[in-house]
Amino acid sequence: MTDVTVIGCGVSGLSSAIRLQEAGFSVGIVSRELPPHTTSDVAGAIWHPISAENLPNGLRWAAECREELLRLVDEPGSGVQMIQLLEPVEEGKEGERWQALLDDLRTVPEDELPLGYTGGFRYTVPLIETPIYMAYLVRRFQANGGEIQQALVSTLQKYTGADRLVVNCTGAWAGKLTGDSRVFPIRGQILRLPPQPQVTRAFMSHGGPLGFTYIFPRSQDCLLGGTSEAGSWSVRPNDATSAAIRGRCASVDRSLADAEVIDVRVGLRPGRDEVRLELEETASGPVIHNYGHSGIGHTLAWGCANDVARIARERFG
């Protein structure tokens, strides 16, 4: 049985590690940050492949990931639920190709949309409650015999070898290990409110008067977002950003204007013009890279993990 070391314990690392175990490999994870302290823990996270159609395999990864998430809806303790989402769209914007993956897409009349929008959609998607889901992934990996070590990796060569495999899932920090100058952080800040029972549906806009705004009601809290600041490495919450997020969300739902905020969190999405998922035969041994999922890492994770396991099987026969 070939030994595999996965570097990184976010959603990409954990999903890859689990699929590799299921393919028969003996897998360990080494990571600087562990759940609940990774970018993946900060995320909303809704299954929404908005930019997936720009990636060569994006729609297939999103479809495969949706399939696993639908299975997890029925698995107690996974933190995955189905939720109805309202998405107003900019004037003149048509439906997108990825929407063909949905079962119940409907157009929404103007009088049910926030002010300034004339078109929009309503549909049901998986919502991943990350505080529950990331802990579930860790348990699933450990239950399969996997071990997690907390350590900063300064060079991949420390773990490579002719008969060993390294899987690089280091997200926004991948450039520091690989020299890949195409990776960059995309800062995202969110507000956590206590559960808001009056909010029963999710909301998300990517353009138009509200710009990038979302409201995700979850069982243990309600998330308000969002921001998308390319190039910023700052993980300190910004008060002006919080006020702007709150203002936009309150214009969608007035009940959110005065609700208590229990936490403000910041995560660094791994920006890249395309996901890097490929085998590299380095001088010291094989490395599969799986990073650069930008703002849709939770939407693609299981599809990418399937490819990591397939490449590993092909490489090691």
- Options 45-53, 77-85, 94-102, 159-167: segment touching ligand FAD (CB under 6 A): 45-53
Question: Least Å distance between CB 295 and ligand FAD?
Answer: 5
31 binds ligand FAD (CB under 6 A): yes
Q: How far is the CB of 308 from ligand FAD (least distance, A)?
A: 12
C-alpha–C-alpha distance, residues 76 and 66, integer Å = 17
Per CB under 6 A, 173 contacts ligand FAD: yes
Mark the segment that binds ligand FAD (CB under 6 A) among 95-103, 140-148, 165-173, 246-254: 165-173
Stretch that binds ligand FAD, among 6-14, 75-83, 107-115, 232-240 (CB under 6 A): 6-14
Q: From the CB of 258, what's the least distance to ligand FAD, in Å?
A: 23
272: contact with ligand FAD by CB under 6 A: no
Beta carbon nearer to ligand FAD, 90 or 229: 229
Is the bond into 247 cis (omega within 30 degrees of 0)?
Answer: no
Q: Does 119 bind ligand FAD (CB under 6 A)?
A: no
CA distance 6 to 13: 6
Calpha distance 95→206 (Å, rounded): 13
By beta-carbon proximity to ligand FAD, the closer residue of 91 and 273 is 273
Window contacting ligand FAD (CB under 6 A); options: 72-80, 195-203, 236-244, 289-297: 289-297
Q: Which stretch binds ligand FAD (CB under 6 A): 28-36, 73-81, 109-117, 246-254?
A: 28-36
The only residue of 2, 5, 40, 241 in contact with ligand FAD, by rule CB under 6 A: 40
For the chain, what is the HEC assignment?
CCEEEEECCCHHHHHHHHHHHHCCCEEEEEECCCCCCCHHHHCCCECCCCCHHHCCCHHHHHHHHHHHHHHHHCCCCCCEEEEEEEEEECCCCCCCHHHHHCCCCEECCHHHCCCCCCEEEEEEEEEECHHHHHHHHHHHHHHCCCEEEECCCCCHHHCCCCCEEEEECCHHHHHHHHCCCCCEEEEEEEEEECCCCCCCCEEEEECCCCCEEEEEECCCCEEEECCCEECCCCCCCCHHHHHHHHHHHHHHCHHHCCCCCCEEEEEEEEECCCCEEEEEEECCEEEEEEECCHHHHHHHHHHHHHHHHHHHHHHHC
Q: Using CB under 6 A as the criterion, what x/- string covers residues 83-112 for binding ligand FAD? A: ------------------------------
Q: Which of 69, 293, 302, 305 binds ligand FAD (CB under 6 A)?
A: 293
225 lies in the binding site for ligand FAD (CB under 6 A): yes
- Could you say whether residue 9 binds ligand FAD (CB under 6 A)? yes
Structure tokens at 199: 């909010």
Taking residues 177 to 216 in sequence order and writing x for each that binds ligand FAD by CB under 6 A, - otherwise, the string is x----------x-x--------------------------
Cβ–Cβ under 8 Å, residues 277 and 307: yes
Out of 6, 20, 148, 169, which residue is the one contacting ligand FAD (CB under 6 A)?
Answer: 169
Q: Give residues in contact with ligand FAD (CB under 6 A).
A: 7-13, 31-33, 38-40, 42-46, 48, 152-153, 169-173, 177, 188, 190, 225-226, 267, 269-270, 291, 293, 295-299
